[in-house]
Amino acid sequence: MRATVVVAMALGIAVCTPSFAETSAMDADVMCLAAIGLLPEVNQKSHVMSDEQAQQTTLMGTMYYMGKVTGRDPKFDLESALVARLAQLDNTTLGTALMRCGGELQEQGGRWQAMGKHMMERAKDPLKP
């Protein structure tokens, strides 16, 4: 009987606890949200892109990473996670995060552009697979 209770509790913990990969992915996406939210401010100092580009990238990045976070766990306390992450950011961490997250956004943007191109081609010939 005792073994059954222990096994049931262990299974319950295994089912209710997110995997390390999910936790790491969530943490990485929260970091991206924190970093991308600071992009306009960073850009004011670096002038790597126009203000309009920085604002557009911030909007797109925020929507992309918010979708990832809320899609993974709609009840996740994002506000608390962002506050904690923002408190941990320094220039080095911020720069690394912007490079990593920006790379992911560029990669995903390339996929979206390719898909849009294929859809336009398919619209010309609806029978084409």
Q: What is the CA radius of gyration of the chain?
A: 20
Residue 41 lies in a domain: yes
Question: Is the pLDDT higher at 99 or at 20?
Answer: 99
Residue 34 lies in a domain: yes
Residue 6 lies in a domain: no
Position 114 pLDDT exceeds 70:
yes
Tokens representing 8? 């049931």
Residue 112 lies in a domain: yes
Per-residue pLDDT tens for 26-71?
Answer: 999 999 999 999 999 999 999 999 999 999 999 999 999 999 999 9
Residue 85: its pLDDT value, please? 94
Residue 26 lies in a domain: yes
Among candidate residues 53, 58, 42, 24, the one with its CA nearest the CA of residue 92: 42
Domain extent for 104: 20-124
Residue 2: its pLDDT value, please? 46
Q: How far apart are CA 109 and CA 25, in angstroms?
A: 19
Looking at the 3D structure of the chain, how many domains does it have?
A: 1
Position 13 pLDDT exceeds 50:
no
Residue 10 lies in a domain: no
Tokens representing 92? 């080095």
Residue 19: its pLDDT value, please? 44
Residue 111 lies in a domain: yes
Residue 110: its pLDDT value, please? 95
Q: Is 106 left (phi over 0), alpha (psi -120 to 50) or beta?
A: alpha
